[in-house]
Amino acid sequence: MISNKQLQKLAARHGTPIFVVDHDEIRRNYGQFKKHLPRVQAYYAVKAEPLPEIVKTLYDAGASFDVASMPEFRIVYENIKRMPAKERQAWIWDKIIYANPIKADETLRDLDPYKPLVTYDNQEEIRKIKRCAPHAGLALRIRVPNTGAMVELSSKFGAAPGEAVDLILAAVKEGLVVEGLSFHVGSQTTNFENFVQAINLAADIFKEARDRGYGRMNLVDLGGGFPAPYDESVKPFSVLAGKINAEIDRLFPKDIEILAEPGRFMIATAATSVVKIQGKAVRDGKVCYYVDDGVYHTYSGIIFDHCHYHMKAFRKGREQICGVFGPTCDALDVISMSENLPADLELGELLYSPNIGAYSHASSTYFNGFPPAKVVHVNR
């Protein structure tokens, strides 16, 4: 891990705010995923943090990629454009899934020459794919329990299990090839039974499809939801992996390919935000610090990801409950109203937030004229 001393040196060199990405930590996280889930091919969810440097590190480590827009597709494609065309096409099929169930006509037309693997979950999408991307392979996304997830996704995407085989056969009737199933148990899922129930639902649908005459499916995409260790309440990844391994080995033969779309798990612990205190006030008896990054930038996950990032000081002091605010004039720009920090910090001192790699800097804006934090990559 990057030390506090290193973080302070980087801030002195580059200024603040900075978003420090530790590529060794990314490689460690990928290694842990493969160690505990050896049968599962990891398709990094690029939306979690789409920096090309991160994509390259994971590409070099052996990862595949889950993309949900054409800009994300092109970020990944940059890593393979020097390959011969024949090898490139094979790589796209093995290394990219376009996992946004709802796609614009223009997107599908752009994707079609690559013969991609795409997800769908309704009749209208079948018609669009047939019309605009007939060379695509399909994975039906099914709705599964999201109980206890930090971000629930089942109300937005996923076919009901009872209609799943009808949608598979409807796509086949249109001349399309359904390669398998996908699901998502919800982001930052600490209720591991969600995975168990979802895998069992997928196995039931595989059996029903075979019983109704369609036996060509050969993959299951476990989606995302693999939790990052934000605090001690998150059980070890090995515990979740043990449950997943037991179910897929029990329910799916070895010739069925198992995919997953970890985003948060790969990148959450691999980035740290460093900010500078540029204002200080006492309001209603509470010390309030104003820093040069906020919820319109690196701390966007407070709004969009239902996540809280703790602020830490680089020096010790008597701590008390403090407020921490971002730099914009918007009242929404609140990082925390109850952060334990030394009350005697001065203007110009630095604070930092670890474990802020996922769904944070990726959503930065230029609201109020403030630019996103500078990204600093550390490769040791």
Residues acting as catalytic residues = 329
217 close to 180: Cβ distance less than 8 angstroms:
yes
Beta bridge partners of residue 321, listed in sequence order:
340
List CB contacts of 160: < 8 A, sequence separation 6 or more: 142, 143
174 close to 329: Cβ distance less than 8 angstroms:
no
Whether the ω angle into residue 161 lies within 30 degrees of 0, i.e. cis, is no
Q: Is 133 exposed, middle or buried (0-12, 13-18, 19+ CB in 10 A)?
A: buried
221 close to 180: Cβ distance less than 8 angstroms:
yes
Tracing tokens 């794919």 back to the chain, one arrives at 129
Of the candidates 302, 320, 294, 312, the one whose C-alpha atom is nearest the C-alpha of residue 350 is: 312
CA gap 91, 86 in Å, rounded: 9
Both tokens of 197, joined, read 């129930």
Number of Cα atoms under 13 Å in the Cβ half of residue 222: 32
Distances (CA, A) of 342 to 105, 259, 272, 275, 276: 54, 46, 20, 15, 15
- What phi and psi, each to the nearest 5 degrees, are found at residue 351? -125, 160
E runs forming strands in 190-268: 219-221, 257-260
CA gap 371, 224 in Å, rounded: 30
Distances (CA, A) of 8 to 11, 12, 290: 5, 6, 19
